Amino acid sequence: MKKTLLIALCLLAFFNVQAQETTFSYNFDNNSFDGWSGYDADGDGYTWELHNSTISGGFDGSYGLYSSCYMNGPLTPDNYLYTTATYLITENSILHFFHCQSDIVYFQENFGVIISEDGINFTEIWSKEYTEPYPNDKWGEEYIDLSEYAGKNLYIGFRHHDCNGNTANGIRIDNVELTSVESVQENEISFKIYPNPASDFVKISAVKSQLSKVIVYNNIGVLVDEIELDSDEVEINISDYSTGVYFFDVDGKIVKIIKN
Protein backbone atom coordinates (compact mmCIF):
# COMPACT_ATOMS: atom_id res chain seq x y z
CA MET A 1 0.00 0.00 0.00
CA LYS A 2 2.77 2.39 0.99
CA LYS A 3 4.77 1.57 -2.13
CA THR A 4 1.75 2.12 -4.37
CA LEU A 5 1.23 5.55 -2.84
CA LEU A 6 4.91 6.47 -3.31
CA ILE A 7 4.83 5.58 -7.02
CA ALA A 8 1.59 7.51 -7.45
CA LEU A 9 3.15 10.61 -5.87
CA CYS A 10 6.26 10.28 -7.99
CA LEU A 11 4.13 10.15 -11.12
CA LEU A 12 3.15 13.72 -10.34
CA ALA A 13 6.74 14.87 -9.91
CA PHE A 14 8.10 15.08 -13.42
CA PHE A 15 10.92 17.17 -14.82
CA ASN A 16 10.63 19.84 -17.43
CA VAL A 17 14.06 20.23 -19.01
CA GLN A 18 14.68 23.70 -20.44
CA ALA A 19 16.89 24.39 -23.44
CA GLN A 20 19.98 26.44 -22.54
CA GLU A 21 21.00 29.67 -24.20
CA THR A 22 23.01 29.00 -27.34
CA THR A 23 23.70 32.41 -28.84
CA PHE A 24 24.61 36.03 -28.02
CA SER A 25 25.23 39.31 -29.82
CA TYR A 26 27.10 42.34 -28.43
CA ASN A 27 27.94 45.62 -30.20
CA PHE A 28 28.83 47.42 -26.89
CA ASP A 29 27.19 50.61 -28.21
CA ASN A 30 25.49 51.11 -24.81
CA ASN A 31 28.98 51.62 -23.27
CA SER A 32 28.35 48.68 -20.92
CA PHE A 33 30.21 45.51 -19.98
CA ASP A 34 26.92 43.83 -18.97
CA GLY A 35 27.34 40.11 -19.69
CA TRP A 36 31.15 40.27 -19.59
CA SER A 37 33.84 39.92 -16.95
CA GLY A 38 37.56 40.67 -17.06
CA TYR A 39 40.88 39.76 -15.51
CA ASP A 40 44.13 41.77 -15.54
CA ALA A 41 46.51 38.79 -15.48
CA ASP A 42 49.71 40.86 -15.78
CA GLY A 43 48.54 43.03 -12.87
CA ASP A 44 49.56 46.39 -14.33
CA GLY A 45 46.17 47.95 -13.57
CA TYR A 46 45.21 48.25 -17.24
CA THR A 47 42.76 45.85 -18.85
CA TRP A 48 39.85 45.82 -21.32
CA GLU A 49 37.93 49.10 -21.60
CA LEU A 50 35.09 50.48 -23.74
CA HIS A 51 36.15 53.26 -26.11
CA ASN A 52 34.37 55.27 -28.80
CA SER A 53 37.21 57.48 -30.06
CA THR A 54 38.23 57.44 -33.71
CA ILE A 55 41.59 55.87 -32.75
CA SER A 56 40.61 53.27 -30.17
CA GLY A 57 36.82 53.00 -30.52
CA GLY A 58 34.54 50.44 -32.10
CA PHE A 59 33.24 49.71 -35.56
CA ASP A 60 31.69 52.69 -37.41
CA GLY A 61 32.60 55.16 -34.65
CA SER A 62 30.63 53.28 -32.01
CA TYR A 63 31.76 51.95 -28.63
CA GLY A 64 33.87 48.80 -28.81
CA LEU A 65 36.30 46.72 -26.78
CA TYR A 66 39.81 48.10 -26.35
CA SER A 67 42.92 46.72 -24.66
CA SER A 68 45.96 48.97 -24.59
CA CYS A 69 49.66 48.26 -25.16
CA TYR A 70 50.73 51.80 -24.32
CA MET A 71 49.67 54.05 -21.44
CA ASN A 72 52.22 56.67 -20.29
CA GLY A 73 54.85 54.21 -21.51
CA PRO A 74 55.02 50.73 -23.06
CA LEU A 75 52.86 47.98 -21.50
CA THR A 76 53.15 44.20 -21.82
CA PRO A 77 49.45 43.29 -21.56
CA ASP A 78 47.95 39.98 -20.55
CA ASN A 79 44.28 40.96 -20.35
CA TYR A 80 41.31 38.55 -20.31
CA LEU A 81 37.69 39.37 -21.13
CA TYR A 82 34.98 36.70 -21.19
CA THR A 83 31.23 36.13 -20.91
CA THR A 84 29.77 35.91 -17.40
CA ALA A 85 27.38 33.15 -18.59
CA THR A 86 28.11 29.86 -20.29
CA TYR A 87 26.65 29.07 -23.69
CA LEU A 88 25.74 25.64 -25.01
CA ILE A 89 27.86 24.97 -28.09
CA THR A 90 26.20 23.11 -30.96
CA GLU A 91 27.62 21.53 -34.08
CA ASN A 92 26.72 24.75 -35.91
CA SER A 93 28.16 27.29 -33.45
CA ILE A 94 30.26 30.09 -34.96
CA LEU A 95 31.95 32.99 -33.12
CA HIS A 96 31.92 36.06 -35.38
CA PHE A 97 33.69 39.37 -34.61
CA PHE A 98 35.69 42.27 -36.03
CA HIS A 99 39.12 43.49 -34.92
CA CYS A 100 41.63 46.21 -35.77
CA GLN A 101 44.86 47.78 -34.50
CA SER A 102 44.59 51.24 -32.93
CA ASP A 103 47.77 52.60 -34.53
CA ILE A 104 48.74 51.93 -38.15
CA VAL A 105 52.47 52.36 -37.34
CA TYR A 106 52.59 50.53 -33.98
CA PHE A 107 50.44 47.63 -35.18
CA GLN A 108 52.07 44.42 -33.94
CA GLU A 109 49.14 43.22 -31.82
CA ASN A 110 48.65 39.65 -30.65
CA PHE A 111 45.33 38.39 -29.34
CA GLY A 112 43.24 35.24 -29.24
CA VAL A 113 39.86 33.64 -28.59
CA ILE A 114 39.62 31.85 -25.23
CA ILE A 115 37.15 29.30 -23.89
CA SER A 116 36.56 27.75 -20.47
CA GLU A 117 34.17 25.25 -18.93
CA ASP A 118 34.69 26.47 -15.33
CA GLY A 119 35.28 30.22 -15.83
CA ILE A 120 38.74 29.86 -14.24
CA ASN A 121 40.93 27.81 -16.55
CA PHE A 122 40.93 29.23 -20.08
CA THR A 123 42.31 27.72 -23.28
CA GLU A 124 43.23 29.82 -26.30
CA ILE A 125 41.68 28.07 -29.32
CA TRP A 126 42.55 30.63 -32.00
CA SER A 127 45.02 33.52 -32.14
CA LYS A 128 46.26 36.21 -34.47
CA GLU A 129 49.60 37.99 -34.51
CA TYR A 130 49.46 41.07 -36.72
CA THR A 131 52.22 40.98 -39.35
CA GLU A 132 50.83 44.01 -41.18
CA PRO A 133 48.32 46.69 -40.21
CA TYR A 134 44.78 46.83 -41.52
CA PRO A 135 44.37 49.91 -43.77
CA ASN A 136 42.54 52.91 -42.29
CA ASP A 137 38.84 52.18 -41.73
CA LYS A 138 39.31 48.48 -42.59
CA TRP A 139 38.82 45.81 -39.94
CA GLY A 140 39.61 42.11 -39.85
CA GLU A 141 36.53 39.87 -39.74
CA GLU A 142 36.67 36.37 -38.28
CA TYR A 143 34.37 33.35 -38.21
CA ILE A 144 35.62 30.84 -35.62
CA ASP A 145 34.14 27.35 -35.99
CA LEU A 146 33.31 25.97 -32.51
CA SER A 147 31.78 22.67 -33.68
CA GLU A 148 34.48 20.55 -32.05
CA TYR A 149 33.17 21.77 -28.66
CA ALA A 150 29.55 20.76 -29.39
CA GLY A 151 27.70 19.69 -26.27
CA LYS A 152 29.91 21.75 -23.92
CA ASN A 153 28.73 24.79 -21.97
CA LEU A 154 31.46 27.38 -22.45
CA TYR A 155 32.54 30.79 -21.24
CA ILE A 156 33.88 32.56 -24.35
CA GLY A 157 36.15 35.58 -24.65
CA PHE A 158 39.38 37.24 -25.73
CA ARG A 159 42.94 37.48 -24.43
CA HIS A 160 45.33 40.29 -25.48
CA HIS A 161 48.86 39.13 -24.74
CA ASP A 162 52.44 38.59 -25.96
CA CYS A 163 52.81 42.02 -27.52
CA ASN A 164 54.28 45.25 -26.14
CA GLY A 165 54.13 49.01 -26.36
CA ASN A 166 57.37 49.31 -28.32
CA THR A 167 55.73 47.87 -31.46
CA ALA A 168 51.98 47.88 -30.64
CA ASN A 169 49.51 50.44 -29.28
CA GLY A 170 46.29 48.50 -28.59
CA ILE A 171 43.69 46.11 -30.02
CA ARG A 172 40.07 46.96 -30.86
CA ILE A 173 37.28 44.34 -31.05
CA ASP A 174 33.60 44.92 -31.83
CA ASN A 175 30.32 43.27 -32.93
CA VAL A 176 30.90 39.95 -31.16
CA GLU A 177 28.30 37.29 -31.94
CA LEU A 178 27.86 33.62 -31.17
CA THR A 179 25.53 32.22 -33.82
CA SER A 180 24.05 28.89 -34.74
CA VAL A 181 22.18 28.06 -37.93
CA GLU A 182 19.80 25.89 -35.86
CA SER A 183 16.84 27.78 -34.48
CA VAL A 184 16.20 27.82 -30.74
CA GLN A 185 12.91 26.08 -31.38
CA GLU A 186 14.68 23.13 -32.96
CA ASN A 187 17.07 22.94 -30.01
CA GLU A 188 14.31 22.74 -27.46
CA ILE A 189 13.94 19.34 -25.90
CA SER A 190 11.16 18.99 -23.38
CA PHE A 191 10.10 15.73 -21.80
CA LYS A 192 8.68 14.08 -18.69
CA ILE A 193 10.59 11.30 -16.94
CA TYR A 194 9.00 9.34 -14.08
CA PRO A 195 8.72 7.82 -11.53
CA ASN A 196 11.72 8.94 -9.49
CA PRO A 197 12.74 7.02 -7.43
CA ALA A 198 11.83 4.03 -9.60
CA SER A 199 11.96 0.26 -9.12
CA ASP A 200 10.66 -1.56 -12.20
CA PHE A 201 10.49 0.92 -15.06
CA VAL A 202 11.24 4.52 -16.05
CA LYS A 203 8.87 6.12 -18.49
CA ILE A 204 9.93 9.04 -20.70
CA SER A 205 7.46 10.98 -22.79
CA ALA A 206 8.30 13.89 -25.07
CA VAL A 207 6.35 17.12 -24.72
CA LYS A 208 7.49 18.39 -28.11
CA SER A 209 8.98 16.48 -31.06
CA GLN A 210 10.31 12.91 -30.93
CA LEU A 211 12.80 11.13 -28.69
CA SER A 212 15.73 9.64 -30.60
CA LYS A 213 18.20 8.29 -28.06
CA VAL A 214 18.37 7.43 -24.37
CA ILE A 215 21.69 6.45 -22.78
CA VAL A 216 21.86 5.29 -19.15
CA TYR A 217 25.02 5.58 -17.04
CA ASN A 218 25.57 4.39 -13.48
CA ASN A 219 26.92 6.66 -10.71
CA ILE A 220 30.55 6.22 -11.85
CA GLY A 221 29.77 6.90 -15.50
CA VAL A 222 29.73 3.31 -16.82
CA LEU A 223 27.34 2.73 -19.73
CA VAL A 224 24.39 0.61 -18.60
CA ASP A 225 21.88 0.89 -21.40
CA GLU A 226 21.54 2.54 -24.80
CA ILE A 227 18.22 2.76 -26.58
CA GLU A 228 17.71 4.13 -30.10
CA LEU A 229 14.14 5.07 -30.83
CA ASP A 230 11.91 7.20 -32.96
CA SER A 231 8.80 7.85 -30.92
CA ASP A 232 7.43 10.30 -28.41
CA GLU A 233 7.30 7.78 -25.56
CA VAL A 234 9.44 4.98 -24.14
CA GLU A 235 9.27 2.70 -21.09
CA ILE A 236 12.65 1.39 -19.95
CA ASN A 237 12.73 -1.78 -17.83
CA ILE A 238 15.12 -1.19 -14.92
CA SER A 239 14.06 -4.16 -12.77
CA ASP A 240 17.46 -5.82 -13.32
CA TYR A 241 19.44 -2.66 -12.37
CA SER A 242 21.22 -2.66 -8.99
CA THR A 243 19.88 -0.13 -6.50
CA GLY A 244 21.57 3.29 -6.64
CA VAL A 245 21.92 6.45 -8.70
CA TYR A 246 21.71 6.48 -12.51
CA PHE A 247 22.05 9.23 -15.08
CA PHE A 248 19.63 9.17 -18.00
CA ASP A 249 20.93 11.07 -21.06
CA VAL A 250 17.80 11.84 -23.06
CA ASP A 251 18.88 13.38 -26.37
CA GLY A 252 21.74 15.20 -24.66
CA LYS A 253 19.90 16.29 -21.52
CA ILE A 254 20.96 14.53 -18.30
CA VAL A 255 18.49 13.58 -15.54
CA LYS A 256 19.44 11.80 -12.29
CA ILE A 257 17.18 8.85 -11.38
CA ILE A 258 17.32 6.81 -8.18
CA LYS A 259 16.65 3.06 -8.49
CA ASN A 260 15.10 1.51 -5.36
- Closer to Ca ion by Cβ: residue 18 or 30: 30
- Closer to Ca ion by Cβ: residue 43 or 151: 43
**In sequence order, what E strands does the chain have?**
24-26, 36-40, 49-51, 64-68, 78-83, 87-88, 93-101, 110-116, 123-129, 140-145, 153-161, 170-180, 191-194, 201-206, 211-218, 223-231, 233-237, 244-250, 253-259
Number of residues interacting with Ca ion: please give it, by CB under 5 A: 14
- Nearest distance in Å: CB 34, Ca ion: 14
Whether the CB-CB separation of 139 and 98 falls below 8 Å is answered with: yes
List the interface residues with Ca ion, window 167-186 (CB under 5 A). 174
The interface region with Ca ion, picked from 40-48, 132-140, 162-170, 204-212 by CB under 5 A, is 40-48
- Closer to Ca ion by Cβ: residue 164 or 187: 164
- Nearest distance in Å: CB 110, Ca ion: 14
Residue from the set 44, 49, 142, 249 that interacts with Ca ion by CB under 5 A:
44
Residue 82 lies near Ca ion (rule: CB under 5 A) = no
Query: CA–CA separation, 165 vs 186, rounded Å?
Result: 48
Indicate the SS3 state at residue 150: coil
Q: Which residues bind Ca ion (CB under 5 A)?
A: 27-29, 40, 42, 44, 46-47, 58, 62, 64, 77, 79, 174
